[in-house]
């Protein structure tokens, strides 16, 4: 039991600290065993960034391992500072970030480019968090452009895995089986029906990606797609001295041209991340009404500030191709589902997320776990990207209201998914041009969305025809008749 207990219907105890609310395990919330077990396995997803650090930033494994420790410190900040979301990367933006990094030579150039991008993301979150303009900015961005970016990020993620020489091409059996099992557990309607009546299925569902990931690893070892692990005992020793050689303090800071080139990618990353914030709080609200014993504060501004802190930490101490995002959707959904089971299952929404990532941070130093998962790190990354691709395409399509938006979004998505470092710039430019030329009923000046006539299918088309007929009839009448 924690030292400070929550009264029924009140907010979880905390220490006030300006815009933040500090909560510590055993003092402000209890330790949750199921989340601890998940953390001991799912921390491998954090390690899955190591192959990208090695390939795109040109650093050795030991330095990349030290980077993951810095990331681990960032993961614990949201629950520590009063954010009820389980954090992760800006996962849908990873393919876009990798396209950006392909324009730079691995090593000092790529590190400078990653620093510039991450610092810009920091400034965006910080500015919008302090001024509280985050939601207003996203409302200004055309819906077709936002959805096209999300869908394009999903397509890029999937194509990166499916391309010749990609990980699914190299290790098809383990990754296809792992992807199918993970997708079935997370998204299948038939599995949800089984969960309602089968206790074992319900327990499996509580672990989200874990069953598919473990099965993929076992299959990969069994069929020889991955080498068997060389398990070692003791604690890990991240090489922080070597890590320093791959920071901007050593390699130098980027020029203004690099900062300018990073702007479109930074903006796209923020748009995707804001979508994650909306998804995260939506998941919280879905279960909040089931738990009248706790009042959960949904401060979007605090999420912005904490995410800015995490990206700033990465920019200077561990440039990170995954960026620091406000939500790990799969893990947060799992925590929310357990939270809905009642206070006996999970004391507080903060105790679930806090326990999960504190365990993940400790697991980074458990050498047997790290060496066990080291040969199969690509599996964790691939499963994350494949599932992200599905979610991005699903969510992006759901947000499109008519055929005109779907057409513009499709062009933006295809352009964004092109294997070109400047595809992000092209996608944003094309999306804005098509929005003004095709979607707006008035090319210049203000317009009323209610006056728009949509040429769509089915019911919308008939409504559009009726509106046009009524307009013609009104035009044919005299001024006195129309009054």
Phi, psi angles (nearest 5°) of residue 11: -80, 150
**What percent of the chain is modeled with pLDDT above 90?**
41
Cβ–Cβ under 8 Å, residues 64 and 322: no
What is the predicted pLDDT for the residue at 443?
A: 65
Give the Cα separation of 375 and 367 in Å (integer): 13
Phi, psi angles (nearest 5°) of residue 231: -70, 125
Q: Where are the domains of the chain?
A: 28-171+226-437
Q: What is the pLDDT of residues 230-276, one digit of tens each?
A: 899 999 988 999 999 999 999 999 999 999 999 989 988 888 888 78
Give the Cα separation of 166 and 227 in Å (integer): 18
Give the Cα separation of 159 and 423 in Å (integer): 15
Q: What is the pLDDT of residues 275-299, one digit of tens each?
A: 788 778 877 887 888 888 998 988 8
What is the predicted pLDDT for the residue at 81?
A: 96
Q: What is the pLDDT of residues 54-106, one digit of tens each?
A: 999 999 999 999 999 999 999 999 999 999 999 999 987 888 898 899 889 99
Q: What is the pLDDT of residues 316-360, one digit of tens each?
A: 999 999 999 998 877 887 788 788 888 888 999 999 999 999 999
Give the Cα separation of 104 and 112 in Å (integer): 9
pTM for the complete prediction?
Answer: 0.79
Please provide the size of the chain in residues: 483
What is the predicted pLDDT for the residue at 451?
A: 52
Work out the pLDDT band at 193, boundaries 50, 70, 90. Answer: confident
Question: 8-17, 208-217, 240-249, 356-365: lowest mean pLDDT where?
Answer: 208-217
If 0-12 CB within 10 Å is exposed, 13-18 middle and 19+ buried, where does residue 196 land? exposed
User: Which residues are CB-neighbours of 126 under 8 A, at least 6 positions away?
Assistant: 304, 305, 308, 312
What is the predicted pLDDT for the residue at 215?
A: 92
Answer whether residue 122 shows pLDDT above 70.
Answer: yes
Residues forming a β-bridge with 20: 17
Give the Cα separation of 12 and 5 in Å (integer): 8
If 0-12 CB within 10 Å is exposed, 13-18 middle and 19+ buried, where does residue 451 land? exposed
Work out the pLDDT band at 480, boundaries 50, 70, 90. Answer: very low
Under DSSP, the state recorded for 24 is: -
Work out the pLDDT band at 458, boundaries 50, 70, 90. Answer: very low
Give the Cα separation of 372 and 143 in Å (integer): 44
Answer whether residue 21 shows pLDDT above 70.
Answer: yes
SS3 106: coil
User: Which residues are CB-neighbours of 87 under 8 A, at least 6 positions away?
Assistant: 74, 75, 77, 78, 307, 310, 324, 325, 326, 327, 328, 353, 357
Taking all residues of the chain, what is their mean pLDDT, rounded to a whole number?
85
């Amino acid at each position: 039991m924690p030292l400070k207990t929550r009264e029924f219907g009140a907010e979880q105890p905390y220490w006030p600290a300006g815009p933040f609310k500090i909560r510590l395990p055993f003092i402000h919330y209890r330790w949750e065993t199921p989340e601890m077990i998940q953390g001991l396995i799912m921390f491998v997803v954090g390690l899955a960034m190591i192959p990208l650090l090695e390939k795109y930033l040109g650093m050795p494994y030991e330095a990349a391992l030290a980077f993951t420790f810095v990331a681990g410190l960032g993961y614990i900040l949201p629950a520590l500072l009063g954010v009820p979301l389980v954090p992760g990367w800006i996962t849908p933006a990873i393919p876009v970030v990798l396209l950006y990094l392909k324009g730079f030579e691995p090593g000092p150039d790529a590190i400078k480019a990653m620093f510039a991008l991450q610092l810009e993301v920091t400034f965006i979150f910080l500015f919008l968090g302090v001024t509280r303009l985050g939601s207003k900015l996203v409302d200004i961005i055309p819906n077709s452009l936002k959805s096209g970016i999300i869908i394009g990020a999903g397509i890029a993620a999937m194509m990166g895995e499916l391309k010749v020489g990609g990980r699914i091409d190299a290790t098809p059996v383990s990754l296809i089986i792992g992807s199918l099992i993970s997708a079935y557990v997370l998204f299948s309607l038939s599995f949800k029906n089984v969960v309602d009546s089968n206790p074992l299925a319900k327990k499996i569902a509580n672990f989200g990606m874990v069953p598919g990931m473990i099965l993929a690893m076992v299959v990969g070892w069994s069929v020889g797609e991955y080498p068997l692990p060389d398990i070692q005992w003791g604690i890990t020793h991240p090489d922080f001295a070597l890590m320093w050689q791959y920071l901007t303090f050593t390699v130098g800071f980027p020029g203004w041209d690099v900062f300018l080139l990073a702007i479109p990618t930074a903006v796209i990353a923020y748009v995707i991340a804001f979508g994650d914030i909306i998804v995260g709080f939506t998941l919280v609200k879905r279960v909040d009404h089931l738990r009248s014993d706790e009042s959960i504060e949904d401060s979007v501004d605090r999420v912005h500030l904490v995410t800015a802190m995490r990206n700033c930490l990465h920019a200077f101490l561990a440039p990170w191709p995954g960026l620091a995002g406000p939500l790990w959707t799969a893990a947060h959904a799992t925590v929310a589902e357990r939270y809905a089971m009642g206070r006996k299952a999970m004391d507080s929404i903060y105790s679930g997320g806090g326990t999960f990532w504190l365990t993940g941070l400790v697991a980074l130093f458990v050498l047997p776990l790290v060496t066990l998962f080291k040969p199969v790190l690509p599996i964790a990354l691939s499963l994350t990207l494949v599932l992200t691709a599905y979610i991005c395409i699903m969510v992006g399509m759901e947000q499109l209201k008519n055929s005109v938006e779907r057409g513009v979004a499709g062009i933006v998505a295809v352009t964004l998914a092109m294997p070109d470092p400047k595809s992000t710039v092209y996608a944003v430019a094309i999306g804005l041009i098509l929005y003004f030329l095709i979607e707006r009923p008035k090319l210049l000046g203000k317009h009323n969305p209610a006056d728009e006539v949509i040429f769509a299918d089915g019911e919308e088309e008939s409504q559009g025809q009726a509106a046009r007929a009524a307009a013609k009839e009104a035009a044919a009448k005299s001024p006195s008749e129309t009054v």
